[in-house]
Amino acid sequence: MNRSLFLKLLSAFIVFGTWELAGRIPVSYAFPTFFESMQALFAMTMDGSIFVAYAETLKPLTLGVAISAVSGIGLGLWIGLSSRFEWLFSPIFIVMQAAPLAALIPILVMAYGIGLTSKVFVVCIMAMPVIVLNTASAVRNTPTSIKDMGRSFLATDRDVILKIIIPAASPVIFSGLRLGISAGFIGAILSELKITPTGVGDIITYSRSIADYPSMYAAIFSIIVLAVLFLNGLERVENYLFEGNNRGYVSD
């Protein structure tokens, strides 16, 4: 564990050091140093503007992620368990994953306006396809021998799903959740940049318009940190719920 922590800290040091060096060269007049961005983030934290911004950003983000996670896992299970349902709905999510969904934002604005509903839809269309397809793939590829063994011990269909398929598929399901939630964070910021400039998207847009690049990069850095913390929390939930599926790594 100490080695794993050391490698993570070393990785962060390399990334932030490269950022600082690139800002000092500079690679662009619009690229501040790491310390300048952190000073701007500290200033926004002290005056409370970053918290006001996140109060707006987290509304569509939490709603969209919750809807995507619950609906995505449910649809993925159904697609993975039913060949007819897979034939009917799987192509839709494959197209959604491949299509440039940002182009749908003007249509969502025309249909639902510039309020919370449109932003939640953006988060959902970004997050749900990868969750559905990963869940369906995990369920579909559950070893048949394990399911047959459960039925040989008189397990019901419900027992097979809850006690065999879901635990066996959980690593891939949670991988899909992590990827989907990452896409949801992108969707939340994208909706604030393309629909109405509110929350963290407003800080990014306004800072860019007045050439306050340290504040712009500070806002971007803060959403990345929040996403990393959220994904680490999700990983801990997975380890708690499915402890038997934990895998060690050679680097650990």
Average pLDDT of adjacent 10-residue blocks, the chain of 252 residues: 77 90 86 92 91 90 91 89 82 81 79 84 89 89 82 81 84 87 88 84 89 91 89 81 56 40
The pLDDT, as a whole number, for residue 39 is 93
Residue for token digits 């801990």? Answer: 236
Structural domain of 165: 33-240
Both tokens assigned to 242: 């499915």
Whether 245 maps to a domain, the answer reads: no
Cα separation, 53 vs 49, whole angstroms: 6
Task: Identify whether the C-beta of residue 134 lies closer than 8 Å to the C-beta of residue 93.
Answer: no
Whether 11 maps to a domain, the answer reads: no
The pLDDT, as a whole number, for residue 40 is 93
Residue type, 85: F
Q: 3-state class of 146 per DSSP?
A: helix
Whether 142 maps to a domain, the answer reads: yes
Alpha-carbon distances, residue 26 vs 31, 35, 37 (angstroms): 7, 14, 14
Whether 12 maps to a domain, the answer reads: no
The pLDDT, as a whole number, for residue 246 is 58
The pLDDT, as a whole number, for residue 214 is 92
Whether 2 maps to a domain, the answer reads: no
The pLDDT, as a whole number, for residue 88 is 82
Residue type, 113: G
Q: How many domains does the chain have?
A: 1
Whether 165 maps to a domain, the answer reads: yes
**Nearest Cα residue to 106 out of 30, 46, 195, 235:** 195
The pLDDT, as a whole number, for residue 35 is 93
The pLDDT, as a whole number, for residue 67 is 92
The DSSP 8-state label assigned to residue 154 in this structure reads T
> pTM score, two decimals?
0.80
Q: 3-state class of 113 per DSSP?
A: coil
Residue for token digits 């007819």? Answer: 84
Q: Euclidean distance between the first and final Cα of the chain, in Å?
A: 6
The distance from CA 195 to its chain's CA centroid, rounded to whole angstroms, is 20
Task: Identify whether the C-beta of residue 65 lies closer than 8 Å to the C-beta of residue 181.
Answer: yes
The pLDDT, as a whole number, for residue 243 is 67
Whether 4 maps to a domain, the answer reads: no
For residue 129, the domain's CATH number is 1.10.3720.10
As a whole number of Å, the CA-based R_g of the chain is 21
Whether 20 maps to a domain, the answer reads: no
The DSSP 8-state label assigned to residue 242 in this structure reads T
Helix axes 166-194, 49-81, angle to 10 degrees: 140
Cα separation, 53 vs 217, whole angstroms: 15
The pLDDT, as a whole number, for residue 1 is 56
Residue type, 124: C
Cα separation, 165 vs 180, whole angstroms: 21
Q: Report the 10 Å Cβ neighbour count for 40.
A: 23
